[in-house]
Structure 1
Amino acid sequence: MTRLKRTMRVAGPIGMTVIGLTLAACQPAGQPLANEAAEAPAANATDTAANAMAIDNGAAAEDRAETKSIIRPDIEPAPTPTPTPEPIDLTIPFPAKGAKPDAAGAALLDTLLANPTYALGGPITIWGHSDSSGSDQSNLTASRKRAEAARDYLVQKGTAPERITVIAMGEATPIAPNRKRDGTDDPEGRDKNRRVEIKVDLPPSAAPAPAPVPAQATPTP
């Protein structure tokens, strides 16, 4: 009996080892052991939390990118500069023996009336011209009638008469030949010479200030 107990004490650890190896051999292939199966859910949970945090960080970054403006709120766009007004020069053609502007001339006068510089109220000068088909006196009279016709058109549209000065030039200042070099008549040249020239100057309040004259240095004696 004593020998049997001694034999069991010696064989106890060995038996436990054999039992453990037997259980491992009986475990199906690819099946994690008990400790591994316990650790796997924890690892998966950690990976899932990390992925969720990365997704949240990415979504937050996209939200910030969408709400961020490329224009700084403390910088306002520069205002568009107002163009500087300039005097107006306009030529109105007149038909042969015509003392009033035709449809084309009236359209040009309407364009003048719509010009922002015209609305400033500056002085207006109208020069009447003619070709050389008549006498000096008749051409002078014809040129005056044309200038007065342009003036009357502007006054009827609301222009103050005191703004307008009329000057008759007759045939004195042609812009094209009245005759060709062989002495024959030049109808195209005469058409260009029958005209009214209009200039609208800026009022004194809108005229640009003159540039200062640099002071001359006093010579050293």
Structure 2
Amino acid sequence: MLAIAAFGLSACELRQDGAEEEPEPAITPTESVATPTPTPSETASPVNSILRDDDETSVAVVAPPQPVNITIPFPDGADLSARAERMLVGILDSRALEENWPVVLGGHTDSSGNDQANLRASRSRAEAVAAWLVENGVDDERIVVIGFGEQNPIQPNALPDGTANEAGRRANRRVELRIAPKPQVESEEDQETENTSED
């Protein structure tokens, strides 16, 4: 046992004594090679852009006028409020108004009161808007006034428990103003032409 241990130790010593120490390779930091940063060079003549802003023949593209739809509130009565007048002032310069399109005014009420009273109230509101427009230069012939009464609420007039929904009723008292081209209605001749072409 001792002989084996002694042999192992001597082998270790032999290995250490007999091995020539090789110098470790010197680790030198690699020199970073600086790559030259390209600098923009000036060209002799400027490059022509495909986007030309100096084109004298360019024409500004104007979008076609769009219909106007606004809801004018009438929280109390049939008189125009200051807010309603500000809304109407805003449409006086609209391109839709310049197009000579019809101006349709639909008056609405809440559900309180009887049907006849609500029809009268809704028409009165629409006529108040029409009068303001005429006073401010809109041709009376273009204006169509319709009284809907309580037929088309935009909010419930009553709460689920049956009590009055005051906020909803205020919202329902309104005039809906629309300025848009007349819908094209096919004449009877056009319809007959279509029917004969289908046969």
Q: State whether TM-score is above 0.5.
A: yes
Q: Stretches of 4+ moved more than 3 A in 1?
A: 61-65, 68-75, 77-80
Distance change >3 Å, CA 100–CA 74, structure 1 → 2? closer
Whichever residue aligns with residue 177 of structure 2, its letter is: I
Q: Tell me how far apart the structure 2 counterparts of residues 69 and 113 of structure 1 sit (CA, whole Å).
A: 48
Task: Return the offset for 1:75.
Answer: 7.2
User: Residues 177 and 189 of structure 1 are in contact (CA less than 8 Å); yes or no, is this contact kept in structure 2?
Assistant: yes
Whichever residue aligns with residue 71 of structure 2, its letter is: T
Matches within 5 A, 1:116-135: 116-135=95-114
2:67 corresponds, among 87, 93, 109, to 87
Whichever residue aligns with residue 102 of structure 1, its letter is: S
Percent identity between the aligned chains?
40
- Counterpart position of 1:185: 164
Q: 1:118 is paired with a residue of what secondary structure?
A: helix
User: Residues 109 and 172 of structure 2 are in contact (CA less than 8 Å); yes or no, is this contact kept in structure 1?
Assistant: yes
Instruction: Please tell me the root mean square deviation across aligned C-alpha atoms, in Å.
Output: 2.9
- Counterpart position of 1:168: 147
Task: Return the offset for 1:145.
Answer: 0.6
| Structure 1 portions without partners, runs of 5+ | 1-60, 208-214
Q: Tell me how far apart the structure 1 counterparts of residues 142 and 123 of structure 2 sit (CA, whole Å).
A: 17
Q: Tell me how far apart the structure 1 counterparts of residues 106 and 181 of structure 2 sit (CA, whole Å).
A: 18
Structure possessing the higher radius of gyration over alpha carbons: 1
Deviates more, 1:175-184 or 1:79-88: 79-88
Whichever residue aligns with residue 90 of structure 1, its letter is: I
Distance change >3 Å, CA 63–CA 153, structure 1 → 2? same
Q: How many residues align?
A: 144
Q: Tell me how far apart the structure 2 counterparts of residues 64 and 166 of structure 1 sit (CA, whole Å).
A: 70
User: Residues 85 and 117 of structure 1 are in contact (CA less than 8 Å); yes or no, is this contact kept in structure 2?
Assistant: yes
User: Residues 95 and 101 of structure 1 are in contact (CA less than 8 Å); yes or no, is this contact kept in structure 2?
Assistant: no
- 1:161-211 CA-to-partner distances (Å, cap 9, x unmatched) read 00001011111111110000100110110011000011112379xx9xxxx
- 1:43-87 CA-to-partner distances (Å, cap 9, x unmatched) read xxxxxxxxxxxxxxxxxx97955xx47458897284332112222
| Structure 2 portions without partners, runs of 5+ | 1-40, 185-193
- Counterpart position of 2:189: none
Q: Tell me how far apart the structure 2 counterparts of residues 84 and 137 of structure 1 sit (CA, whole Å).
A: 41
- Counterpart position of 1:158: 137
User: Residues 66 and 95 of structure 2 are in contact (CA less than 8 Å); yes or no, is this contact kept in structure 1?
Assistant: no
1:112 aligns with 2:91: yes
